[in-house]
Amino acid sequence: MLEASALQAAERLDRQVAKGIPVGPLAGVPFAVKNLFDVAGLTTLAGSAINRENPPATQDATVVARLKQAGAILVGTLNMDEYAYGFVTENSHYGPTRNPHDLSRSAGGSSGGSAAAVAGGLVPLSLGSDTNGSIRVPAALCGIYGLKPTYGRLSRAGVALLAPSFDHVGPLARSVADLALSFDAMQGPDPQDPVCARRPADPTFGQLGQGIQGLRIAVADDYFLRGAEPHILAGVEKVAQALGAQQTVRIPEAERARAAAFLITAAEGANLHLHHLRTRPHDFDPATRDRLLAGALLPASWIVQAQRFRRWYRQQLQALFQEIDLFIAPTTPCSAPLLGQEKIVIAGVEVLTRPNLGLYTQPLSFVGLPVVSVPLRESGSLPFGVQLVAAPYQEVNLLRAAAHLEALGIPEAQPA
């Protein structure tokens, strides 16, 4: 179905160009989407077996429709962790997504298919979703750019959610310009999504060449510099030097923020899938089912306390951004683990792989900050990423800084 519609869209664009009719800024750009975005005529799987029984979507998700309106051509939907609950895209129903840089390794998740498709050169642009790091983790492990905008900045209408108070959607690409163009095309209020910010679009593409003059940039220390592999910390330092970061900042209680994020995510996810957990538990991916069942059993008092902490944590970060514009942190503590690898070592301690790939992303999703993961690759290493983090609605600062790094030749976001 998508092959026919993609060819028709391309032919339509050709006719418009031949007639001198203006076309959109993404005219002819092929893109693909994580299979939790509604695509008219296709069943939205969200990585699950249960959803195969659902009827096809009747219309495109808002952001998919907006990319099409900008001239982009949808060519496919992509593998993911079941219900977007994971960091490895090793799906028991549809198989693993392999890292294009080393097929024995994970592409990350839960937007693993989205990252692998871009890194492998199948498409220049894809869409993913990010609850606790699901755009940034696979972008880092696959060596491409990934943008998690401010919570509520892009519409989630027509997107299968995992944890509604966390979920973001955003683009993955091999260049900062592609991130900015697609982000600009998707911006704007949407009455179909009640949390989509009621604010006009704020174009970023035209500001990429402004450089970093005037931006106050720091490096997140303490929690964010503990446990990462040496080559990743070296990458953070390389980015800091290139951006002229002269100071460090301490993000208060980041470890507790991560713990609270675990609790709230599990509780919200369990609530969304409670009916099927009760009636069809054996139809879930076992790794997803067990975490959702645990979320369903959490005491309500724990969730209330986590939400109270969330308010306090947001206030602390709001105060921090009175002093700085951006801070720098690792995206993941390591490069891509092997498929099926159950444990990794962080700070000399063996820990489970799946949850700990989000060690540095989760405390930032917790309060909806905009983040871009910038790809790096040291000699002899697999790709990894460094996060640039800004105050809410300051995506333009992120993209200016990322474009500055790109102009210096520091990031490497090329097909594997």
Positions marked active-site: 34, 110, 134
Rounded Cα–Cα distance for residues 351 and 355 (Å): 9
Report the 10 Å Cβ neighbour count for 381: 14
**Residues 31, 126: contact at Cβ < 8 Å?**
yes
3-state secondary structure of 130: strand
Longest CA span, the chain = 64
Helices marked H in 321-367: 353-356, 362-365
Rounded Cα–Cα distance for residues 21 and 13 (Å): 9
3-state secondary structure of 44: coil
Rounded Cα–Cα distance for residues 174 and 335 (Å): 18
Rounded Cα–Cα distance for residues 374 and 282 (Å): 39
DSSP string for residues in 266-328: HHHHHHHTHHHHHH-GGGS-HHHHHHHHHHHTS-HHHHHHHHHHHHHHHHHHHHHTTT-SEEE
The length of the chain in residues reads 416
